[in-house]
Amino acid sequence: MGFTDFVSNATYDLYEAKLEKEVLEGQMPKHVAIIMDGNRRYAKDVLKTDDTSEGHRRGKDKVEEVLNWCLKLNIRVLTIYALSTENFSREDSEVDYLLKLIIETMYELADDERVHKNRIHVRMIGDRELAPEQLMDAVKCVEERTKDYENYRFNIAVAYGGRQEIVSAVKEVARKVKDGSIDISDIDESSISGHLYTSDDPDPDLVLRTSGELRLSNFLIWQLAYSELYFTDVYWPGFRYIDFLRAIRSYQQRSRRYGT
C-alpha cells in the first residue's frame, strides 16, 4: 500500500468512527427494510464480467455483513427483499442460482452461532405455494430452530409481492366475515395489518434501496405508508458500513410527524 492509500484509508476510518458515534447517539430505527438491488450491474460494471452469478454471490455475502451491522447498532428487525414474484420471470438459470443462494443462506443461518447467541428469529415472508420444495425444506429448518427467539427478527422476502400480500390478507378477512368470525363493520386498518406476513413486526421505520433506482418495486407497500425512504447509487455488493450509517443518519435527521 502506498502512502496516498494509507492516508486515504486512515481518513476513511476516522470519518466512519465519527459517523458511527453520531448515529449511536441518535434514535435508532426499530425496523429497517432493504431492497437489495444492483447485483447484476455490479458484476458488469465493477467485476467486468457478463456472468451475473458472481454479483449475486457477493450480494449474498453482503447480507451477512448487514446483519452484523444491525446487531452492532441494535436494530431489532431487518427485512430484506431477496426474490420477488416478478423475479421468477428471469431466465431459469439465473432463478435457479438465486434460489440456490437463498437455500444456502437459510441453512447457514440455521447453524449460525451468531443467530443463536443473539436469539434472532429468522423467517421467510412471501407466497410459500410458489416456493420450490428444496427452498421450503431450508425455510422450515431455520424457522424451527429459531421459532422461540424474540430478541431480533430477520425476515427474508422470497416469492414476495406487496400487492399479492394485500390480496391474500383481504381474502383471509373475507373468509372470516363469511364464516361469522368477524363482522364486516369491524374491518379496519388493523384487520388488514393483522393478516399480513409481517403482522408480528412493527412497520418499517426506514426503507432503503441500493443501485440508484427510485422506486419501491412492490415491496411492503402497505407497511411503508409512514416509512422514511432512502436511496443510494451504490450497488448492493458494494454497499459499505459507512453507507448504512449515512442512511441511518438521514433517518435520524428527519422529523417524523405522521401527518400532524
Residues marked as catalytic: 37, 87
Q: Which residue(s) pair with 156 in the sheet?
A: 80, 124
What is the C-alpha separation between 230 and 242, in angstroms, rounded?
14
Cell of residue 7, nine digits: 492516508
Angular region, 259: left φ>0, alpha ψ -120 to 50, beta rest = left
Cell of residue 259, nine digits: 401527518
The residue type of 108 is E
Grid look-up 423475479 returns 87
Grid look-up 399479492 returns 164
What is the C-alpha separation between 25 and 23, in angstroms, rounded?
5
Provide the angle, in degrees to the nearest 10, between the axes of the packed helices 92-111 and 133-146: 20
